Every structure is written in C-alpha cells, then in structure tokens.
Amino acid sequence: MFIVYLLSMGLYYNHTHNIIIRDTEKHIEDILVSRRALAKLVSDIQKPEVNRLKSKNFLHTEYFSSELLSSSYITLKLNEYTNKERQKVNLEPISFKYASPNPTNTKNLANDFEQKIYNQFNTNNIQKYKEVLTQDDKTYLYYAIAERRIEQKCLQCHGLVKDAPQMMINRYGTDNGFGKSLGELSAIISINIPLTDIYKENDKEFFIIALIIFFTFIVLLFLSEKLKNHLKMKEDKLLHVNKTLMEDINKDPLTSLLNRRSFEEQFLLERDRAKRDNKKFAFMMIDIDFFKHYNDDYGHVQGDRALQKVAQSLQKSFRRSSDLIFRIGGEEFAVLSVGESFQQLINSADKACERLFEEHIPHRSSDIGYLSISIGLALIDENYDITFLEAYELSDKTLYEAKKSGRNQMKYIKLRKNT
C-alpha cells in the first residue's frame, strides 16, 4: 500500500508540473505567433508605405526609423510595456528576444545557446524549440520559433551597405546587420516564462496534500474524495494562472489601455459593484474631434502618437482604482467610473476635456486650433436597471449632442429609477 501511495504521489506531482508547462506553452505560442504577425505587419504594410512616401518625395530617400520600420525594435518595446503592466499586478517579467548571429542592433546578438538553436532552425531541422531551464536558482520555460526568412525586399536594408538608408547607418553603423542572403533565416523569436513561483506554490500545496493523504491513506473512500477535491482545486488554480498570463491580450497595443474585447464584461462587473456599494455609475463615450482631418493633415504615424497622447491625458484624468479606460476602436475611447455622486462624475468628465485642451496639441483643421475630445456621459443611479447595449446607445447619443453643440465639451444624461 505504501508503494502504491508513493507511486500515486509521484504521478500526481508530475501531473501538476506537466499541466503548468502545457498551459504555459499554449500561452507562449499565442504570444510568439502574435509577435511574428506584428513583424509581418511591419514588413508587408509599414515598410511598403514608407517606400511609397519616399517615392512621392513625402519622405527623404534616406529616411529610416526603428520605431516605425524595425519589427524587432517595435516588438521589444511592446514587451517592455507589457512587463511594466505585469509589474503593476505583481507578476514576474517575461524575457523576450530576437536572436540573430548578425543583427543590426547588437542587443539582439545570439549567445552560444541561441546560436545553436538558430542553426537548427536555419537548416530546417526543427519547427520549434522548447526547454525547461534553470538559471540563478530560478526555473524558466524557454520557447523559440523561427522568424521570417530573408526576402528580396529585406536586402534593401540588410544586403549591401551602399543600399541601406543613411539614417539607418547613422543609427547602427556598418559593422552588423549586412551581407545577408535570400532564404537565410533572419532571426529566432524566443521567450522565457518564469516558472519558479508557480512551481513553489504548486510544490507547497503538494506536500501539504501528500502529508494529509499519508495519515489518512487507510480510509480509501475518504482518500478518494479528498484527492478528487484537491485535483479540482489544482485545476482551478492553474486555470487562474493561465488567465493571469493572458491578461495582456485584453490590452490595446498602441495605447496600453484596455481594448474592446473586455469592455462589456467589465461593464457588468463594475455595474454590479456600483449597485452593491450604493454608488453612482458613469458610462462615458469619448471621441477625438476632427481626427480624420488630423490624420489627413499630419499622417497616420503622427495620428498614432496623438492617440497615445490622448490615452495618457485620459489616464491622468481618470486615476482612481474605480476608473477603467478603454480604447474601443480608431479614435473612440470609453471610460467606466464609479463615484459618490453624479456631480463628482460630471466634474471628472469635464476636467478630462479641459486637461487635453490645455496640453495645446496643435490641430490645424480644428476650429479651436488644438486637439480636443467630446464626451457623452450616461449617469446611472444605483437602483436603475440597464443593459450594456442600452447604456452604450444612450452615451453615444449624448456624445453626438456634444459634437453637435460645438465639440470640446461633454454632455450627459441622468438615469434614475422612477419612484
């Protein structure tokens, strides 16, 4: 019986670790595929657009910007911002890297371990690589996939030095990143997910369970029920870990705000919380005034920067823990907020308009000369029953009224239950 107990516990221990690794692999694959898709977007859309602008003399022929044209730079910056968000919720950072034996940016230079993996990818021996690594007493799941191979269009920047944009040479020099050949693997995309804390939590609970089962092993029926309950608890905890790891999917990559994906779900949660705490609730729809003209006047790159500035301004205006800010598409934003009174929520929306205007971001196609926002505000009493769609439509209607009344302002509607 004791041998059966040891075998059962050994199998259970391995099972929990396998679940951790399997679920982490799924999350890693989602991240890596999305990063590879981002690199393809830069290659297939952003670079051709820059070349088109060069051909029409809107940009200098030697123009180059890592922030716009380097998929590795953009991806690493995205990972940097992701880790900042992870730190806010007390999660360990995720290590992400483009590794190449001949990178333009020496920060991406492959070490001996990465060079070995790169060689296997480059000769088509493998499709993906994964390994559990231990470094400095910490355990990680290392996972790598191949980046795209060098195409003809890539040689403009990574073939001969004489063909590369001068701004690129000025930034990175001529020692690295050149002399690449058609069909050559550009890099491997790798990621390290920390497992140490997850393992520690898992092992701590495992030994507690094992001790309990050891002293109660003779009671087989009780043991069976006990083990089943703990397995369910373990599965729930692992699902929670996986959910936490995937929170970045609900973030808008340009502004780091929440995206439309979680909008309705958060509305239901925050609305229930407001009703439970007897608080007032605000559903705000926000639109940047004359933003299409702004894009036409300044270009989409500057338009993206303007979106980021608006997002930053909104974050300064809605800083309480009960404020949730979303970018729900294009120049449209939304805020869910809970307050003690309608007036408090009205003041917050009004100050948001004022704050952005006071930043004096130039907008020559605007009547007021600066970038501004209009806000439609649905103020909902704690006893008023309303669906997400109803709140959305009412807020959108008041937004239309704000725009019709001259923009750079907010309009509101108060919703109270008839008594």
- pTM value? 0.44
Least confident of 226-230, 254-258, 316-320, 358-362: 226-230
Q: Are residues 181 and 290 in the same domain?
A: no
183 in a domain, yes or no? Answer: yes
- Beta pairing class for 95-99 and 188-194: antiparallel
CA torsion angle 292 296 298 299 (round to 10): 100
Quick one: which of 27, 11, 383 has its CA closest to 195? 27
Greatest C-alpha distance within the chain: 84
Mean per-residue pLDDT of the chain: 85
- Sign of the C-alpha dihedral computed for residues 108, 110, 113 and 117 taken in this order: positive
Residue 380, SS3 per DSSP: strand
- For 397, half-sphere exposure in the C-beta direction (CA atoms, 13 angstrom radius) is 10
Q: Which two tokens stand for residue 308?
A: 């980021």
Could you give the CA distance from residue 339 to residue 348 in angstroms, rounded to a whole number? 10
CA distances from 35 to 41, 74, 150, 328 (A): 10, 10, 17, 21
Is residue 220 assigned to a domain? no
Q: How many domains does the chain have?
A: 2
Query: Do the Cβ atoms of 260 and 251 come closer than 8 Å?
Result: no
Backbone torsion region of residue 307, taken as left when φ is above 0, otherwise alpha when ψ lies between -120 and 50, otherwise beta: alpha
Residue 156: inside a domain, yes or no? yes
HSE of 82 in the Cβ direction (CA atoms, 13 Å)?
A: 23
Highest mean pLDDT: which range of 57-71, 115-129, 350-364, 404-418 = 350-364
CB 378 within 8 A of CB 391: yes
CA angle (352, 394, 262) in 5-degree steps: 70
Per residue in 49-81, pLDDT (tens digit) is 888 888 888 888 778 777 787 777 787 788 888
Residue ending a domain, choose from 196, 215, 245: 196
Q: Are residues 281 and 142 in the same domain?
A: no
Residue 243 in domain: no
Q: Rounded to whole angstroms, how far apart are CA atoms 264 and 275?
A: 17
What's the alpha-carbon Rg for the chain, to the nearest Å?
27
Q: Residue 282 belongs to a domain with what CATH number? A: 3.30.70.270
- Picking from 93, 417, 94, 102, the residue whose alpha carbon sits closest to that of residue 281 is 417
Token duo for residue 358: 């006071």
Domain membership flag for residue 253: no
Residue 179 inside a domain? The answer is yes
Identify whether residues 90 and 190 lie together within a single domain: yes
Number of neighbouring beta carbons within 10 Å of residue 135: 9
10 Å Cβ neighbour count for 406?
11
Give the residue numbers spanning the domain of 323. Answer: 258-415
| Residue 5 within any structural domain of the chain | no
The Cα–Cα gap between 290 and 306 comes to: 12
Please state the rounded mean pLDDT for residues 372-396.
95
State which of 148, 167, 196 marks the end of a domain: 196
239 within a domain of the structure (yes/no): no
For 163-191, the pLDDT digits (tens) are 777 777 777 777 787 878 888 888 888 88
